[in-house]
Amino acid sequence: MVQIKWSNRFRTGRFGNRNRSCKITVDGTDCPINQPTPFCKSWFSHKFEGPGLRYEVGVCIQTGDIVWINGPFRCGAWPDLKIFKRDLVHQLAPHEFVEADGGYLHPRVRTPNKFVSWSDKRAKDDARHRHEGINSMLKSFGVLNFWFRHDLWLHKHCFGACAVVTQLGIDDGSIHPWQVRY
């Protein structure tokens, strides 16, 4: 997926390079699937109270570009922090951090309750809200929002295609993730 580039986290947005140690926001998103047989609680997602696959998505704070997708993982067996510790933490440069929600308790993660001023808190909130907007754009594709009825090995390809199409929309200007003063 040439459109989803990890190196794009260093691109600058309209407010320029603010030389921050956090380059991306990261969050998990769950996609519903039909119940695999035999029943196993490791598939269960609390977000929609049914079986699902979880993906980790990273979004550049400066530009809104999707720079990282990782998955699929069984929702019940793989909480967000476990996925982060397995892969993404090892991709970060020394002294680089990520912004994430309170479910990520890790030394390389900056969470909403770690802020130095009210303007810093607002910037963090804006970055996280934009990330949720990107997740919503991904879910606008029915294949990710409704129960997936096909072979599970195909789901990763569908998710990747939806991420690429969303990123192409960001690149050509047809999708406008709002800018964040971070």
* Predicted model pTM: 0.90
Does residue 130 sit in helix, strand or coil? helix
The CB density around residue 25, as the number of other CB atoms within 10 Å, is 26
CA torsion through residues 9, 13, 19, 22, sign: negative
- Residue 178 banded pLDDT, cuts 50, 70, 90: low
- CATH class (in words) of the domain with range 6-172: alpha beta
Q: Which helix (H) or strand (E) holds 52?
A: strand 50-60
Mean pLDDT score, 35-61:
92
3-state secondary structure of 70: strand
Statement: residue 21 has pLDDT above 80: no
Hey, which bits of the chain come out as E strands? Answer: 22-32, 44-45, 50-60, 66-74, 97-99, 109-110
- Model confidence pLDDT, tens digit, residues 74-106: 999 999 999 999 999 999 999 999 999 988 999
